[in-house]
Amino acid sequence: MLSKKIVFFILITFFSTLYAHQIPGISVDVTKLENDKINIKAFFKRSKKPLTGNEVRLISMFDNRVLKKGILTYQGIALDIPKESYWIYVIVRDNDIVVEGIAPEKGFDKTVKKEETAVLYTALISVFFILTAFFIGYKRSKIK
């Protein structure tokens, strides 16, 4: 019985860590237009109702500076594509939805080498803390 509780606790901790950085029910759609422009729309997944009045920022992957910003309307927002790698931030209340930006037709002038290790590091740290808590609990049960 104790092993089922431990496995359940490990699974809950692991999956809550993986999905902690998403806003459920909201989606961002980025489409490429002519003349190196993009159209950004954000909407609720179930009702398909668009988000309006939310701030959109194009953030540089190099130095985290704001390249362009604007406000979402019912039709979305059309912005010029920057010449360097960027992220699209849609600010919803006090949370951010982050999407990687689309490249222009001729490609970026400057690109960033991406390493997707955040999930790996977070998972390893979670497993480390779970194992530490398990060993502390095991030692306490042996002392009694």
Single-letter amino acid, residue 105:
E
Tokens of 53: 């009045």
| Residue 100: count of CB within 10 angstroms of its CB | 12
pLDDT at 77: 93
Q: What is the CATH number of the domain that holds 128?
A: 2.60.40.3080
Question: For the chain, what is the domain count?
Answer: 1
* Helix ranges, 19-143 (H): 118-143
pLDDT at 79: 93
Can you list the residues of the chain whose pLDDT is less than 70?
1-2, 10-24, 113-116, 144
Tokens of 23: 């806003």
Based on its alpha-carbon atoms, the radius of gyration of the chain, rounded to whole angstroms, reads 21
pLDDT at 13: 66
pLDDT at 26: 85
Q: Can you give the residue range of the structural domain that contains 25?
A: 2-143
pLDDT at 137: 79
